[in-house]
Amino acid sequence: MSSDPRVFNFLKERIGLDVASVGEAIIERAVRQRSQAVQAQTADEYWQQLQRSHDEQQALIEAVIVPETWFFRYPESFATLARLAKARLAEIKQMRALRILSLPCSTGEEPYSIAMALLDAGLAPHQFKVLGLDVSPLSVERARRGVYGKNSFRGADIEFRDRHFNESADGFHISERVREQVRLQVGNLLDPTLLANEASYDFVFCRNLLIYFDQPTQKQVFDVLKGLTHEDGVLFIGPAEGSLLGRHGMKSIGVPQSFAFSRHVEPVKPEPVFAPIPAPPPLRSAAALPVKPRPFSSFSAQVVPIKAPPSDAADLLSQIATLANEGKSAEARAACERYLSNHPPAAQVFYWLGLLSDVAGSALEAQGFYRKALYLEPQHPQALMHLAALLESQGDSAGARRLQARAARSERADSESKR
């Protein structure tokens, strides 16, 4: 079934999704899937069913949103949260519980990770509460069940599973102690009345969402997030979104790899965490290097320390990825330089150098590395998306759109080749 701009507009209005940021092919696949499910023979027939049925509207959104998450992604964010939470409790003289928001919360791994991190850091249950919101009722229901398979535990350091889960035949059940700290509900960030009657939040997690919106929607969503975050609160975002927040007056709190921003900035020194926080998960193989993320998702990988020089390029590429994703920037850069010294130039290496520079706040350097990656591999999906986000943050909307269009064409061609 060919592209239908009416469907694109529907998704833009309902969940803010900019089709150029993810590629038409992803949405077209979802429409084909749903058309077959409701036995619609033509685009018009499916559109009529979509207009008539709220259930079908939600089913299409569910088909487009592919949850991809696991416990303790971006571990430094949780380590930083633990430190800031203790400091915040001292500031408010423990007169109330901390309020923490996770959105989109997907199937629950992030809000439950927040609760586990704070409990492991020594906070008492009465000292904090977590709210998880997601536009997907199906994801929220799965989060409420609190039963997870092995795919939700992707790191080598999963000791937290023994502390906070009970294993049974159908999977790992989150403990009641953690579950009681988390409230879950359906909610849409584009709803102007979202949480309108509730107090603001001390900490808000909203990661890898803004890059999938066009500039007006980014502004709209940012205004909502800013309203939800306490004046002295902290907003945690994804690694590619820092420049977007900077444009709206937010500044990094100064902790590398935490991706944490505040309105009133007092740099936080990265001190030892109060409790061990699990490392992020490993890439499965060098061939499985990150592809363009699905809407409302992100990627991460676990660090495996380099004990000896890798035997070949593939091993080194994999180790670069794990080092970069945990936040060991110096080691990752050294591994990149080692690769470039001993092997022919590779787009993936320049992409990682770009991301490391991007996270460090060196936008021009990052831009140069992303362009080198695209010189070697013109349709490199991650380089296209991150360079587009950089250009957008610098006000070059036309340049960003061109890169997004290239990514969409690549995704469409890849989809058609697999038919």
What's the pLDDT score for residue 223?
84
Closest CA to 123 of 51, 202, 181: 181
Average pLDDT of span 142-165 = 91
Q: What CATH code would you report for 75-262?
A: 3.40.50.150
> Rounded to an integer, what distance in angstroms lies between the CA atom of residue 241 and that of residue 204?
14
What's the pLDDT score for residue 21?
64
Average pLDDT of span 363-380 = 81
In contact, 266 and 87? CB cutoff 8 Å? no
Long-range residue pairs from 247-256, CB within 8 A, at least 24 positions apart, any chain = 247/393, 248/219, 248/222, 250/226, 252/361, 253/80, 253/84, 255/76, 255/80, 256/76, 256/327, 256/329, 256/359, 256/360
What's the pLDDT score for residue 264?
58
Question: What are 111-130's pLDDT values in tens digits?
Answer: 999 999 999 999 999 999 99
Which residue matches tokens 């089709």? 19
Closest CA to 117 of 91, 152, 149, 86: 86
Spell out the CATH class of 300-417. Answer: mainly alpha
Q: What angle do CA 100, 198, 137 make, to 5 degrees?
A: 70
Average pLDDT of span 70-75 = 87
One-character DSSP codes across 123-173: --GGGEEEEEEES-HHHHHHHHHTEE-GGG--SS--HHHHHHEEEETTEEE
Give 413's contacts (C-beta < 8 A, 6+ positions apart).
none
Judged by average pLDDT, the poorest of 78-92, 263-277, 346-360 is 263-277
Question: What's the chain's average pLDDT?
Answer: 80
If one compares 399 and 204, the residue with the highest pLDDT of the two is: 204
In contact, 404 and 387? CB cutoff 8 Å? no
Judged by average pLDDT, the poorest of 249-253, 273-277, 338-342 is 273-277
One-character DSSP codes across 339-353: HHHHS---HHHHHHH
Element (H, E) at 100: strand 98-102
If one compares 45 and 362, the residue with the highest pLDDT of the two is: 45
What's the pLDDT score for residue 359?
78
What's the pLDDT score for residue 285?
38
Average pLDDT of span 296-320 = 56
Question: What are 190-230's pLDDT values in tens digits?
Answer: 887 888 888 999 999 998 787 777 778 888 888 888 889 99
Task: Inform me whether the pLDDT recorded for 266 exceeds 70.
Answer: no
If one compares 319 and 114, the residue with the highest pLDDT of the two is: 114
> Rounded to an integer, what distance in angstroms lies between the CA atom of residue 178 and that of residue 194?
25
Task: Inform me whether the pLDDT recorded for 289 exceeds 80.
Answer: no
User: Where in the chain are the domains?
Assistant: 5-64, 75-262, 300-417
Task: Inform me whether the pLDDT recorded for 267 exceeds 60.
Answer: no
275-287 burial, b for 16+ CB within 10 Å, e for fewer?
bebbbbbbbeebe
